[in-house]
């Protein structure tokens, strides 16, 4: 092949090649394939995705960079599966958000007033929308001639939005998704609840998560975004299951930890009900040091009852490397004792055996004490620890 990427386009310089499509060489098929998300642009590249929060119904959500498409010398963004677009207006010298058909972008709307063109706008000389700090938007019951900063007019500042019961409109850059998220659902600690890790592959062009511990045979708990319904979904049958979701929420946000609506779940009758106890959140940093106490054994010696404190009690220090993608701990004084997570059984285990030949903790469900709890670190355990009785 001539190179990694090629394009057939007779133009003076590469930044004018966006009228055609670049191709990459696929070694497996020995053929050139189209790269729809590759283009050449002048200057620094703005964020691939931006996130609007607040404003009128339908406007909030994640907007994706429109590859191979510029307008007025700037990039445009579109909300996938909808007609919502964000673009730079030369006439109004600002960024505009409106619900348009793709063919309308840059056509008739540019000739109107800014309030007639868009649902929201930011008249600031900035390189991309996420840098905007002064967004105006039409209120919930907007009508032409309505008073400013009322429910029938245009909201111009966050204070007015809050006074009217509206969410202030902001735009932020979508960064990298979290490495892992915690799902909690009431007293459930073994099925839906637990730690979900970021999948290395995108699902429908969005980040997705998989639960590490599936204690029931046949379960494969996953969490992903479904663009057609604009819902985040939690399903026990994997990404490609045709079964109804076990939990869902309608909220177009970068990842499920930023959901601001209430989740719905399916109860044992298969009916959908709202759940106040279902929560998806970021993980806190594991503590550097933990203290284990209370492990004891009662014995009768010389007809007297004696309580012996077991050697697993004491101070444990977090180790530098992770084990099964979670923190593990070694006792500060007696280094034979460790606290580790066993993914296959979903157990936190206190183990009195020496480390293996590679200097790492064992990876089995054998130990002196354990508890079934799919949590991020031992301090978050809510279940009852069980001692091994020989």
Read off the pLDDT of each residue in 233-256 and give the average, rounded to a whole number: 89
Beta bridge partners of 266: 272
Q: Does an H or E element contain 214, and which?
A: none
The rounded mean pLDDT for the chain is 87
Q: What is the pTM of this model?
A: 0.82
219, two tokens: 């379960």
pLDDT-based confidence at residue 7 (cuts at 50, 70, 90) = confident
- For tokens 């759940």, the residue is 275
Cα–Cα distance, 226 to 112 (Å, whole number): 35
pLDDT score of 307: 66
Q: What is the DSSP letter of 257?
A: G
C-alpha dihedral over 140, 145, 150, 151, to 10 degrees? -20
- Name the DSSP class of 30: T
CA distances from 249 to 168, 183, 205, 271, 275 (A): 21, 14, 18, 15, 10
Reported confidence tier of residue 100, pLDDT bands at 50, 70, 90: confident
Residue labelled with tokens 């444990």: 316
CB 125 within 8 A of CB 93: yes
Q: Mean of the pLDDT values across residues 118-136?
A: 93
Q: How many helices (H) and strands (E) does the chain have?
A: 2, 30
Instruction: Please report the pLDDT score of residue 22 as a whole number.
Output: 83
**159-187 confidence digits (pLDDT tens):** 999 999 999 999 999 999 999 999 998 87
The first and second tokens of residue 320, run together, are: 């530098």
Q: How far apart are CA 327 and CA 258, in angstroms?
A: 25
Ramachandran region, residue 373 (left: φ > 0; alpha: ψ -120 to 50; beta: rest): beta
Distance separating alpha carbons of residues 77 and 80, to the nearest angstrom: 9
For residue 112, what pLDDT is reported? 65
The answer to whether 378 touches 329, Cβ cutoff 8 Å, is yes
């Amino acid at each position: 092949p001539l190179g990694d990427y090629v394009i057939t386009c007779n133009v003076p310089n590469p930044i004018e090649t966006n009228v055609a499509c670049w191709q990459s060489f696929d070694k497996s098929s020995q053929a050139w394939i189209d790269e729809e998300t590759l283009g050449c642009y002048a200057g620094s590249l703005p964020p691939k995705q931006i996130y609007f929060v607040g404003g009128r119904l339908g406007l909030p959500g994640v907007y994706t960079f429109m590859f191979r498409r510029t307008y007025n010398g700037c990039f445009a963004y579109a909300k996938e599966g909808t007609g919502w677009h964000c673009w730079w207006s030369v006439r109004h010298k600002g960024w505009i958000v409106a619900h348009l058909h793709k063919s309308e972008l840059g056509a008739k709307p540019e000739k109107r007033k800014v309030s007639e063109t868009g649902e929201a706008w930011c008249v600031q000389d900035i390189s991309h929308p996420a840098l905007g700090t002064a967004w105006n938007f039409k209120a919930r019951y907007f009508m032409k001639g309505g008073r400013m900063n009322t429910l029938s007019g245009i909201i111009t500042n966050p204070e007015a939005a809050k006074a009217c019961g509206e969410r202030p409109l902001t735009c932020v850059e979508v960064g990298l998704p979290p490495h892992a998220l915690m799902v909690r659902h009431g007293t459930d600690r073994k099925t839906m609840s637990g730690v979900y890790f970021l999948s290395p592959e995108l699902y429908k062009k969005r980040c997705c998560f998989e639960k590490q511990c599936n204690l029931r045979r046949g379960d494969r708990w996953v969490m992903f975004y479904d663009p057609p319904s604009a819902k985040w979904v939690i399903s026990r049958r994997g990404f490609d299951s045709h079964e109804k979701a076990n939990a869902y929420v309608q909220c177009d946000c970068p990842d499920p930890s930023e959901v601001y609506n209430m989740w719905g779940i399916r109860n044992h009758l298969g009916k959908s009900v709202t759940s106040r106890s279902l929560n998806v959140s970021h993980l806190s940093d594991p503590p550097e040091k933990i203290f284990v106490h209370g492990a004891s054994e009662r014995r009768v010696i010389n007809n007297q009852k004696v309580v012996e404190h077991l050697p697993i009690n004491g101070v444990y220090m977090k180790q530098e490397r992770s084990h099964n993608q979670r923190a593990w701990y070694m006792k500060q004084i007696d280094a034979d004792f460790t606290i580790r997570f066993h993914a296959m059984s979903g157990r936190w285990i206190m183990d009195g055996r020496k480390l293996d030949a590679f200097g790492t903790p064992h990876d089995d469900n054998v130990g002196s004490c354990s508890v079934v709890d799919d949590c991020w670190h031992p301090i978050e355990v809510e279940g009852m620890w069980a001692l091994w009785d020989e």
